[in-house]
A and B are shown apart, each in its own frame.
Chain A
Amino acid sequence: MSSMFRMVGKQLKTHPSLIPLFIFIGGGATMSMLYLGRLALKNPDVSWDHKNNPEPWNNIEPNQQYKFFTVNTDYSKLKKDRPDF
């Protein structure tokens, strides 16, 4: 396993143009895995704790931002205009 890294390290010395490749591919893979992890852990459609929080999709606050990114909606400014469940 470590011999593979050593082999790649030797190739990098003679072919430094491979470094940007590692940066972009590595960065892309890292970002994908991080987003998948975020989806697994913070998406209200996913239920992990069957005893204490079996249906997280029923416990979303009206002004809770569950998406990663908002363009026009400021969730902290939303009004809660419906009765409690």
Chain B
Amino acid sequence: MAYPLQLGLQDATSPVMEELIQFHDHTLMIALLVSTMVFYTILTSVTTKLTNKNMLDSQGIETIWTIAPALILILIAMPSLRVLYMMDEVNNPHLTVKTIGHQWYWSYEYTDYKNLEFDSYMIPTQDLIPRQFRLFDTDHRMVVPTDSPVRMLITADDVIHSTAVPTLGVKMDAIPGRLNQTTFVVSHPGVFYGQCSEICGANHSFMPITVEAIPLIHFEDWSTSMLAKI
């Protein structure tokens, strides 16, 4: 999960996020190399004693600095489009979870077999117990099985919200009157946090998303117990 002064992306918990991290590292490396080269060039140009008042143009270097950036951009575009199309693929989901954004909480519905619906409110800071994370933990978590493609249908009840779980590479707007779909696969069990990512009013910062991934054999135990509780 996120930690203070974090600079990089969170570790991946889904195959899509792994691809996104690889693409990010690839592109950032290119950007850093180009920036270093430009910075070095500017530095040497500014601190040199050499002057040539008759230099007008040069065909050689102009050809090089047209072709090289074009090739670099192609090297960035190809993985980018590949990851983009990969993120769009719907891969036979095992489970569908409906996520509805409200002011200021999320509600989840698991309606594949029975009618399981519950709300997920952030735990207020004064009510936290020692193992819980401030502004991240919720009273009920969205539980999903590991290693199973999950389809998430997202909408909102009032204003635009956005559900995001960075470690899964998931972000999708929750727009009233519209149903958005995204899919993800959780690679290993754990608890993963995200926060509402579209300004939605006074408590926009206080409606987090908590995803708990458990092995598939235990998933029905949870759904049965939740149905009994609600």
Contact = CB atoms under 8 A, between A and B. Distances in A.
Interface of A: 15-21, 24, 67-73
B221 interface: no
A16 B67 contact: no
13 contacts: A15-B62, A16-B63, A17-B59, A20-B70, A24-B66, A24-B67, A24-B70, A70-B89, A71-B82, A71-B85, A71-B86, A72-B86, A73-B91
A73 B89 contact: yes
Contacts of A70: 85, 89
B60 interface: yes
A67 B85 contact: yes
Interface residues of B, number: 15
- At the interface, is chain B mostly helix, strand, loop or mixed? helix
Contacts of B82: 69, 71
B81 interface: yes
Contacts of A68: 85
B66 A72 contact: no
A74 B140 CA distance: 38
Most central of B60, B81, B85, B91 by chain A CB within 10 Å: B85
Nearest to B82: A71
B127 interface: no
Contacts of B88: 67
A70 B81 CA distance: 10
B139 interface: no
B57 interface: yes
Interface in B17-60: 57, 59-60
B75 to A, nearest CB: 14
Nearest to B15: A72
